Chain A
């Protein structure tokens, strides 16, 4: 019976493969933004916590909007994101408890070296965005309800521009893809500094505006409300938040560098 043999050999293969997963240990689910995961920060930050608590942190790296949605549904235990207004709304609605500041960096406006909009060196980011909106080059928007997208929309609102037209590309993708797209199209985009530093050697864009206080980018950590979702691993989640805010965790964040530059700063 050939079929039986095929099935049996596959079954045997399965049985030998699966037990690697069965090793039971506590798992904490963290929904966070691509900027913390893809930059490599979490890979530095998590091992010490996992070892101390004999657990594994499952990181689901998505945009801030989706991370908060996962928290709302109770599909994760903790969220670490960067969009202050959305975070406050999340807590106010009862989906999360006790938002804490973890770290910060800032956003930067990136543009091509040729700088067709003439904004290079602009300290006033709103003014720079206004010039970009004139349409001399494309602006690539995340368009994905991420923290960066929220910040970008807030800036457009501040300058009174309703972005639309041929010059405004809504990519609907992560920060890395958007920087790549802006590089290929030689256009402008808004990025968090962390992702930009990690990407700088893969792109010939440059920072054209930085330092405006409106570009401040704080990251917060929030436990998903265990009263709303009783399966949330409250103790482990609290231990994780405590670790992030401990001198040990903060030292890892402050010491994390890429291409010789700090990506995140502690308070």
Chain B
């Protein structure tokens, strides 16, 4: 099909030409999503560890709730955060709506349940002897939990990768909270939506291929970290 062929050659041309506008959207996508996943990881990995290691009343309920949150449509998350950040909302005075920060906040809400869920699964699946062994060898509680996390690092990186995949490829939050402003909040996904709305299907698909390439690079990088 000429349409698909044209898209592919446009994508290659875009990548080779390093078109400044395309680069800007790649840049925005990358740093917003990496920032979101960084914040999510810092918050969600310890949380997941705690949930997995501690037995507490309502644990199953918490896990079920997490699984449900993973199914939240991005548009719903966008709407909720929009309500918080709009000038009419409780956080309106900060003027965050339609900035990259707003997108980052929305993406954190999207990523945290996923990272927590995968961390819980990784920690729960770890050898139960790790913690007691570390303790008998004289490690303190914090040190032994860190040792445990180190043992399940593959699972943790998988959690980060899954969370990153969710946020880099989503369009609902980025569109609603960022507003698709050229040069500021236009991400790869909102640019694709825009080009599609303009009927530039081949160009839109080309951007999609570029997005795939970027995601591939990030995952290769994470994979490299995982192996070391």
Give the interface of A toward B (CB within 8 A). Answer: 1-3, 5-7, 9-11, 13-14, 17-18, 20-21, 29, 34, 38, 43, 56, 58-61, 73-75, 173-174, 176-177, 179-180, 198-199, 202-203, 229, 231
Tell me the bound Cα distance from A73 to B199 in angstroms. Answer: 31
**A74 vs B97: C-alpha distance when bound (angstroms):** 11
Within the assembled complex, what's the spacing in Å between the Cα atoms of A75 and B35? 24
CB pair A60 B181 closer than 8 Å: yes
Q: Cβ of B98 and Cβ of A60 under 8 Å apart? A: yes
Q: Name the B residues within 8 Å of A174 (CB-CB).
A: 197
Report A199 CB to chain B, min CB distance, Å. Answer: 6
Instruction: Determine how close the nearest CB of chain A comes to the CB of B192; give it in whole angstroms.
Output: 13
Are A180 and B199 closer than 8 Å at their CB atoms?
Answer: yes
Determine if A14 and B153 form an interchain contact, defined as CB atoms under 8 angstroms apart.
Answer: no
Cβ of B47 within 8 Å of any chain A Cβ, yes or no, is no
Docked CA distance A3–B225 (Å):
9
The interface on chain B, measured as residues whose beta carbon lies within 8 A of the other chain's beta carbons, has a size of 40
B window 60-94: CB within 8 A of A:
86-88, 92
Q: Mark B90-106, 1 if CB is under 8 A from A, else 0.
A: 00100101101000000
Of all chain A residues, which has the CB nearest B89? A73
Stretch among B7-15, B38-46, B107-115, B125-133 lining the A interface = B38-46
B167 part of interface (Cβ distance < 8 Å) = no
Whether B157 and A75, one on each chain, are in contact in the complex, defined by CB atoms closer than 8 angstroms, is: no
The CA of A16 and the CA of B157, in the complex, are separated in Å by 22
Which of A6, A20, A56, A231 touches B225 (beta carbons < 8 Å)? A6
- Cβ B34 vs Cβ A176 within 8 A: no
The answer to whether A10 and B38 have CB atoms under 8 Å apart is: yes
Q: Return the chain A residue nearest B182 by Cβ.
A: A59
- Say yes or no: B95 contacts A14, CB within 8 Å: no
Excluding A60-B179, A176-B197, 15 further A-B contacts by CB distance (< 8 Å) are A2-B225, A7-B38, A14-B34, A17-B27, A18-B31, A38-B197, A58-B98, A58-B181, A60-B98, A61-B180, A75-B98, A176-B198, A176-B199, A198-B198, A202-B199
- Contact among B146, B181, B194 for A1, CB-based, below 8 A: B146
The 3 lowest CB-CB distance pairs between A and B, nearest first, are A17-B31, A74-B87, A60-B179
The interface residues of chain A lying within 8 Å CB-to-CB of B150 are: 1-3
B30 in the interface (beta carbon within 8 A): yes
Interface status of B228 (Cβ within 8 A of chain A): yes
Complex CA gap A180/B86 in Å reads 33
